[in-house]
Amino acid sequence: MTDQTQHAPSTTKNVFDDWRTVCVALYLALAGYAVLVGIPVISSAWVNLLGFTEPQVGRVAGADLGGLSLGSVVTAWLITRYDRRLLIILSGLFAIAMNGLCMVYTDYEMMLALRLAAGFGAGILTSVAIATLSATSNPARTFNLLLFCFAFSQAAEIYFLPKLPVNGIYAAFMISFAVGLVFVRFIPPRATQTSRPPHPQSSDTEEPAQLDVPAYVPWLVLGAIMAVYVNIGAYWTYIELATAGTATSDKWVGNALTIASLFSIAGCLTATVISNRYGLARPLLGTLIIHAIVVWLLVLGINNITFTISVFAFNYLWIFIDVYQMATIANVDKTGRYAALMPGAQGLGQILGPNIAATLLAYNLGYNAVFLMCGLASIAAMIIYSYMYLMLRKKIPTLADAS
């Protein structure tokens, strides 16, 4: 194959670029991530309305988000073998059924199993949606759009879900899945060889996606994503419960969580501007350090001021980090296989995070220990990315500093 052939723009339209496909995939991804987004509210409902203990909440949340991870791993194997529409329909119906059973069986042991199953169904649906977005010609842009929409979805859930009973929350999840299934026909059934055509480029510059990326690089990114979501999973599960008995106002806690969710939009926009100027790696490393610091701030004491600073900064930087991580996967993954595993890495982190936090609380170590652990997880992700960055600087400088 000649160099001219390699770098010529594709004349074949990418079926995944259809605006209807992108919109439906975005919606399905948001529906699949609904439990993750609403976990502070759901955790409080499990404690206040079902009588679960705080350690039990961590186990149930970990099971739900662990199911998301398991579904993602299964999807990475299924997606090249089966019709994507079929996967979405079956997983969506399964998730609807499991959420429905949660309305009937409310004891801890059954809830643990049912939330694992519901998360599994949501994980398959979410992973197919993420892989669909990754198959577009410009996946970095579609992932940025996903995170932009994520901020509004998060704010809406934090505002409206507390107004619902537990069964109302489950019903909201069921309806969101059902609506997505109505529009599944806009999802292409299979990837084609023309998906994600190469971009035109100058003869003296290599695009990161066309470089011979070492096989370990996508796995390092997935490992770092897992570490980040250990922090996010534990913090987001317990942040509202941690304010009980502190100097914070209950009304302000609810309002702050809603406003902070919208504030994360600024993180999405700022991340794009900074990455265009400085690349992805260096801003990401600094952001992970700051993310640890704003979590550790709560160790000094939880009041209206420290809670507000921590929650606002946490949400702002959460989206900031996800923009960089998803764009990094888009740069190093030519196949979409690793993009499909992103919810798996996130879910695995969210199994570990709430369960580690639950164990710390079960040993009466308190929320200070939980928040210390959260910050250390963010630092672990920073160390992984630092190693990857230094290795790529030696081998593929273009990829190391890609935007």
Alpha helices in 135-215 (DSSP H): 139-160, 166-182
pTM, two decimals, is: 0.77
Span 70-93, pLDDT tens digits: 998 898 888 888 899 999 999 999
Tokens for 79? 């997606």
The per-residue pLDDT for 41 is: 86
Give the closest residue to 118 by CA, choosing from 105, 129, 132.
Answer: 105
Tokens for 69? 């991870």
Span 4-61, pLDDT tens digits: 433 333 444 688 889 999 999 999 999 999 988 888 889 889 998 899 998 999 899 8
Q: Region 388-400: what's the mean pLDDT?
A: 82
CATH number of 18-191+209-400: 1.10.443.10, 1.20.1250.20, 2.60.40.1190, 1.10.490.10?
A: 1.20.1250.20
Q: Which residues of 349-371 are buried (b: 16+ CB within 10 A; e: fewer)?
A: bbbbbbbbbbbbbeeeeebbbbb
Tokens for 187? 């999802």
For residues 385 and 8, the model is more confident at 385
Q: Region 252-266: what's the mean pLDDT?
A: 82
How far is residue 11's CA from residue 7's CA, in Å, rounded to a whole number? Answer: 12
Q: Is 386 exposed, middle or buried (0-12, 13-18, 19+ CB in 10 A)?
A: middle
The per-residue pLDDT for 68 is: 87
* Domain spans of the chain, in order of start: 18-191+209-400
- pLDDT category at 331 given cuts 50, 70, 90 is confident
Span 115-156, pLDDT tens digits: 999 999 999 999 999 889 888 887 767 887 888 888 888 888
